[in-house]
Amino acid sequence: MNIALIGYGKMGKLIEQIALEKGHSISVIVNSSNPIENQNFTNIDVAIDFSTPSSAFHNIKFILSKGIPVVSGTTGWLNNINKVRGLALKKETGFLYASNFSIGVNLFFELNKKLSKLMQNHSEYKASIKEIHHTEKLDIPSGTALSLQSQITRNIDIESERTKNIAGTHIVNYDSEIDSISISHQAHNRMGFAQGSLIAAEWIVDKKGCFSMSDILKIN
């Protein structure tokens, strides 16, 4: 499989490492020194986007317009996601966005949905979300925290913290005067995100339409 990497930071380099170990080729790398317009996408099977909020929309549109499927994990640009989905359908190619590609996080999402339903009739519990990430993470709150928030059927605040050497921690808490209920996910490193994005790229290469990690994991 010939892969285009859109973004070549820590995540991009880790995806490259895993892809090469699995026998794939990294044929195009796009970053600030190598603009997307200067690249040759002729033999590309799929693109994996971990760029920046300011560049993601342009990059994804550029690649989809060539009929190449895109897997994107960049957050902070989702006000334009419906335009991207429309373009993918128009070009009859595949697009998959995930705020988090970790298998564990996507299972955590399902726990969050279930707990939210169980708590619907218990207004005595105040719900909250806390997310902790490394200081290099640009978007606040994280895309994963926003996904968790959207799954909860009540108004809920998100507390964000940035500190060194934290790959990503998310905590959903329900607190009452009597007790507290918490579920959490802690990433030990970026490996789960990189592995999940490559699984998504392998899966979508022959697909047409717009998808999520739930489609890959066959959830619901």
pLDDT digits (tens, 9 = 90+) for 80-125: 999 999 999 999 999 999 988 999 999 999 999 999 999 999 999 9
Task: Tell me how far CA of residue 3 lies from CA of 33, 50, 66, 191, in angstroms.
Answer: 18, 13, 14, 18
Q: Which residues are catalytic?
A: 133, 137
181: which 2 tokens? 């209920």
> Phi and psi of 80, rounded to 5°?
-110, 10
pLDDT digits (tens, 9 = 90+) for 119-142: 999 999 999 999 999 988 878 899
Contact assessment for residue 11 and residue 187, using Cβ atoms and an 8 Å cutoff: no
Q: Is the alpha carbon torsion for 12, 13, 14, 17 positive or negative? A: positive
> Phi and psi of 156, rounded to 5°?
-150, 135
- Domains within the chain, CATH numbers bracketed: 2-97+191-217 (3.40.50.720), 103-187 (3.30.360.10)
pLDDT digits (tens, 9 = 90+) for 5-34: 999 999 999 999 999 999 999 999 999 899
Q: In angstroms, rounded to a whole number, what is the distance separating the alpha carbons of residues 158 and 142?
A: 9
Cis bond leading into 141, ω under 30°? yes
